[in-house]
Amino acid sequence: MLQNISYFCTGCGQEIQKGQPYCTNCGAKLRTDKYERIDVYNIVYYCNICGATVEPDHKFCTNCGEELWR
């Protein structure tokens, strides 16, 4: 059984093609000799104000108290 493997820019998280020298979203130079496989279902959410990781069901950031938008 074949699996679909996705590759992502380690700078911005944009999905990229294997062998791509630069990210088309943020312009970061990509290592073409090593790629990091990221589970598509392992999504991490961040507070827009302080950058702390937050749970997807939270309405407020537990670090700074800012209201989270969805």
> Any residues with CB less than 8 A from the CB of 30 and at least 6 apart, and which?
9, 16, 20, 21, 22, 23
Which residues is 60 bridged to in the sheet? 67
Strands (E), 1-70: 7-8, 15-16, 45-46, 53-54
Identify the pLDDT of residue 39.
Answer: 58
The residue ranges of every structural domain in the chain are 1-38, 42-70
User: Which pTM was predicted?
Assistant: 0.40
Identify the pLDDT of residue 36.
Answer: 56
Identify the pLDDT of residue 42.
Answer: 67
pLDDT, tens digit, 9 for 90 and up, residues 10-68: 788 888 888 888 888 888 888 766 555 655 666 788 898 999 999 888 999 999 999 98
The residue that leads in pLDDT, 69 or 66, is 66
